[in-house]
Structure 1
């Protein structure tokens, strides 16, 4: 899908483009209203993201002129003006929806999906063609249940064919629709991407899904009877509608965007510092009672621009401070002494906030490494050895290679950089590598916290229960006593890798509240689980057998009670060992007793706390994998 983004703040535009391109949208950028309107008149877009405060032609006039030309492309306004009057004016000008800066990435994406869906009501988030399944919400493509690794362009091509299975696309049409105006593709670009896509589909077991219609272009291959193989799922109804977005749903940035945000911040931070300098100068003039009306308007404009810009980088507090500064300046140059003093306090606080560089947050870094390790497990696992024993380290590397595990060695000074660069699946730590067990324990504590979130095996020449207890308390997974044979060490590594395979697990969630389903999807998807979310109990049994989950999450109070569904599962010979976790707003003893009497394995009260939910799921899946019924997870 192709989006036109009209935003004059280059840094904010880059952040938005990163978010959108990671969701496989094609994005054209325009930095003023006139250029944006020209783009909208020349090219076809699925959506226009439009800032209100623009040079040459503001967003409201843009809307009015585009609608006067009978162009019905959905328009989503981006505005730092949060008053109801401003929103009404924007909607009356022809916009379809709005988001107030700063906004969360997930909220923006949910509103985009809702607007595109309103224009094409039949649009589904899940499409199936034969054994190929595409889920546009998670940007995931699977073939025969296995994830298909596609480039952004390959994904966009496949989605275009699957959504328009009866249409033939010429090379020129595909170039216009899937390449932005900034890209300059060669004549054979489409053919090259089609060839690469076909090869990946063939290797996955979906040969000849895309056919060439000579002299015309390409299309999805149809059955002989002329009916399309494509099946559109009703999963779209789980997406957030504009009026259903809640701040609790969208608490995270996409982990893979964090480094990109940091790079953009590094380039544009001086520009934002200059804007704050303008504010500081105008506040000084205000203190001296020499501020003119024009200078007050300049200060208001600077504060207004900073509201959305700083919010784009996750600096929510800085954005809030700017909004308060803007409101004070908007009142005019004649301020009370208290308001002037308040401005002085706000600008000092804002400068302090700006000096905090945008870096990769620990939890984002951990989740990024977690995702990378998930990919490694399915390809070649990575082992990081922290040990000064060169001979043993080499033996471990050789033994690991026999089992298809890639191992490398790091010293104390190298270990953090090695983890950041390689995202190992397992760390093997010698407690005495620095001749100090306490130093080894300190490193273990750092590695097992949320900063890295990597499983650690410990081996030590000191056989001492006190040290074993410390290792267990710090989160070490296995304790090995030296001397130990390299084969035994790698066997332990493989055991930990098998535990890590739980992130490949399939989870089915049944809840009649679509917003709760979206909250759970937001919490669970970053961990790599394959999800099926169901808000209609009528199809429960069919979907349970078709999806074949490793864990079932049920709500208690639904049109068909979760307790009854659990009883049905427990009465079936095939499913009676399936782990079942209940979520409910009810905390009374009677409800809890009924849940466990029906056969539940665990129970959590709403509202859901993300870390606790993940810990409960991981623990339940690990027990299933280790103590029984785990063959499906390992297969």
Structure 2
């Protein structure tokens, strides 16, 4: 009987949510403590190694390849959080254009950054016509590159995501609406759990946020309802709860919750959790 309690306590310690809600309206870095995976494609290995060294110090795991074919293989095995191509060499640029088209077609949500060796308008036009990548100049410093990668990953993870939040507290729903709308998220709110099933099917969300205690039908029952349906059983679910006791946390995990945050929570925490869960779900769907 003690093992479930210990598991729940360990999970709670690992989550370590902050103890105050601090919505200041300022843009935060939601992934400042998250490790990102970056695939670097460059013809010269000496270009890759310094990025790997500095990446280890800044929470970015860099995997480098020197051939386009190797990049395709790496992505087929594990889709990274972002891709960075060094197209300084004109020959490598020509070989990479088809690859950029493939990335745009197969992984439209995947952040791609391209480093060009010249400011030639023709080269830049050719790149942006073939892909939706961000073009960087050769003069960019490594710390600026990594900052651009994190910013792009954060925006891509959350952009155009449909989230359904169910909570009987209008203040909580209003706060979520104010916060998430700034990240390009389509948030749909529901304060009456009796209307949950028809709203779920009408909204068709990418992510579900549930409160635990609600009148009529509580969040635990709603979670079980979702997990029992073949259409929605893979939908990522996160609970927002005021409870921190081991029994409640264990119950949330046992009914199929992917994650939870204890109220009150901070802006960086909720954005980071949402981004990570949504990104993981998209990577799983993208796997062949």
CA deviation string 1:564-593 (max 9, x = no partner): 111121222222221110001111111111
Query: What is aligned with 1:613?
Result: 270
Partner SS, residue 25 of structure 2: coil
Is the 1:388–1:411 Cα contact (8 Å) retained in structure 2? yes
Deviation at 1:403, TM superposition (A): 7.2
Is the 1:384–1:427 Cα contact (8 Å) retained in structure 2? no
Query: What is aligned with 1:550?
Result: 206
Mapped pair 1:572 → 2:229: yes
Query: What is aligned with 1:515?
Result: 171
Counterparts of 1:434-583 in structure 2 under 5 Å? 441-449=142-150, 453-455=151-153, 500=156, 503-559=159-215, 560-583=217-240
Partner SS, residue 512 of structure 1: coil
Q: Distance in 2 between matches of 1:403 and 1:596?
A: 35
Partner SS, residue 152 of structure 2: coil
Query: What is aligned with 1:587?
Result: 244
Taking structure 1 as the reference length, what is the TM-score of the superposition?
0.27
- The CA RMSD measured in Å over matched residues stands at 4.1
Deviation at 1:556, TM superposition (A): 0.8
Q: Distance in 1 between matches of 2:165 and 2:119?
A: 44
Query: What is aligned with 2:280?
Result: 623
Is there any run of 5+ residues in structure 2 with no aligned partner, and where? 1-20, 30-82, 106-111
Partner SS, residue 454 of structure 1: helix
Deviation at 1:604, TM superposition (A): 0.5
CA deviation string 1:40-87 (max 9, x = no partner): xxxxxxxxxxxxxxxxxxxxxxxxxxxxxxxxxxxxxxxxxxxxxxxx
Deviation at 1:501, TM superposition (A): 6.6
Partner SS, residue 594 of structure 1: helix
Larger Rg: 1
Q: Distance in 2 between matches of 1:362 and 1:570?
A: 33
Q: Distance in 2 between matches of 1:384 and 1:602?
A: 30
Mapped pair 1:604 → 2:261: yes
Partner SS, residue 552 of structure 1: strand
Deviation at 1:525, TM superposition (A): 1.3
Is the 1:249–1:519 Cα contact (8 Å) retained in structure 2? no
CA deviation string 1:347-393 (max 9, x = no partner): xxxxxxxxxxxxxx887xxxxxxxxxxxxxxxxxxx98654323322
Query: What is aligned with 2:100?
Result: 400
Match of residue 251, structure 1, among 2, 15, 24: 24
Aligned residues: 199
Partner SS, residue 233 of structure 2: coil
- Greater relative contact order structure (CA < 8 Å, 6+ sep): 2
Flag the 1:249–1:547 CA change in 2: closer, same or farther, 3 A.
Answer: farther
Deviation at 1:522, TM superposition (A): 1.5
Partner SS, residue 624 of structure 1: helix
Deviation at 1:537, TM superposition (A): 1.0
Q: Distance in 2 between matches of 1:407 and 1:623?
A: 20
Query: What is aligned with 1:228?
Result: none
CA deviation string 1:161-196 (max 9, x = no partner): xxxxxxxxxxxxxxxxxxxxxxxxxxxxxxxxxxxx
